[in-house]
Amino acid sequence: MSKITGVFIAGVGGQGIILASELLSEAARLSGLDVKKSEVHGMAQRGGSVVGHVKFGEKVHSPIITMGEADILLSFEKLEALRYINFVKNGGIAIVNDQEIAPAPVAAGLMDYPPDAFDRIQKAVPRSILLQGNKLAEEVGDTRTTNVVLLGALSAFLDFWPYSWLEAIKNKISPKFVEMNIKAFELGKKVAIEYGL
């Protein structure tokens, strides 16, 4: 993996975006890559937008991903994916969790949540996956593993050392939750591979 790969992570406060960016960065580091990451929290405590920039490769000078530069958009919520879809480069990939969290204007009844959000995402980025992340997380016993389900899906498109993800999970997650998170990761990866992009 000689080129620089950029993964733009988007979601809403409380969805585990920061942990996801840490796990991705750790897996890249354990695969022998140079890694840089940056997060923007926004109004995270109030359900506001949260994004993470993660770049890895032989030598990375800055973590910041600009518009049209992301190889992969990993979004934990559909409207957030639509908000940041312009960051994906031509031929890039969007992995989108099929969850709808109403932003303040929608919750206040000032705007409607776009019913065609994923259609618009897919039109902009043909290589898009819509994952039932929360449902898959329920299958392993805890919806808090949704972020790791999505990382599992992401892993299907990254050429990391096979055990780097498992080591990252062991390094960054409390021991009592490791087994559950490994199951969540493997399930997300399996579904993404079956999607056949």
Mean pLDDT of 173-197: 94
Report the SS3 class of residue 48.
coil
Residue 21: domain span = 5-195
Q: 1: pLDDT confidence band, cut at 50, 70 and 90?
A: very low
Q: Is the pTM of this model over 0.75?
A: yes
41 Rama class: left (phi>0) / alpha (psi -120 to 50) / beta:
alpha
Tally of domains within the chain: 1
User: For 130-153, how does the pLDDT look when each residue is reduced to its tens digit (9 = 90+)?
Assistant: 999 999 999 999 999 999 999 999
- Residue 160 above 90 pLDDT? yes
Average pLDDT along the chain: 92
Q: What's the pLDDT score for residue 49?
A: 83
CATH number at residue 165: 3.40.920.10
**Hey, which bits of the chain come out as E strands?**
5-12, 34-40, 49-57, 70-75, 88-97, 128-131
> pLDDT by residue (tens digit) across 63-122?
999 999 999 999 999 999 999 999 999 999 999 999 998 887 888 889 899 999 999 999
Indicate whether 10 pLDDT > 70. yes
- Tell me which residue of 41, 15, 37 sits closest to 147, measured CA to CA: 15
Q: What percent of the chain has pLDDT over 70?
A: 95
- Tell whether the model's pLDDT for residue 44 goes beyond 60: no
**Residue 123: burial class (beta carbons within 10 Å; 0-12, 13-18, 19+):** exposed
Token look-up 């449902």 returns 135
